[in-house]
Amino acid sequence: MHDLAQRVNVTQIPEFCSATVHDPELAHEFREVFVAMTTMPAIGWVMFNRDTGNRRRGSFGYWLGEKHHGKGYMKELAPVALAAAFKLLDVDVIEAAAQPENTASLAVMRGCGMEFTGERMVYAPARKREELCHFYEIERTSILQ
Could you read off the pLDDT of 21-39 as tens digits, one per residue? 444 444 444 444 343 334 4
**Rounded CA separation 99/34 (Å):** 23
Predicted confidence at residue 63, as pLDDT, reads 84
Beta-carbon neighbour count of residue 69 at 10 Å? 12
Q: Enumerate domains of the chain plus CATH numbers.
A: 3-143 (3.40.630.30)
Measured at the CA of 62, the angle between CA 61 and CA 64, to 5 degrees, comes to: 165
**Rounded CA separation 106/45 (Å):** 17
Whether residue 126 has pLDDT greater than 90: no
User: Residue 80: what are its φ and ψ, rounded to 5°?
Assistant: -70, -45
pLDDT digits (tens, 9 = 90+) for 54-95: 989 999 988 888 888 898 888 888 888 898 888 888 899 999
| Per-residue pLDDT band at 7 (split at 50, 70, 90) | very low
Whole-number Cα distances in Å, 38 to 17, 31, 49, 80, 123: 14, 16, 24, 18, 33
Predicted confidence at residue 100, as pLDDT, reads 97
Ranges of beta strands (E only) in the chain are: 29-32, 44-50, 57-64, 93-98, 115-124, 129-139
Predicted confidence at residue 138, as pLDDT, reads 97
Structural Rg of the chain based on CA atoms: 15
| Per-residue pLDDT band at 16 (split at 50, 70, 90) | very low
Predicted confidence at residue 41, as pLDDT, reads 67
| Per-residue pLDDT band at 18 (split at 50, 70, 90) | very low
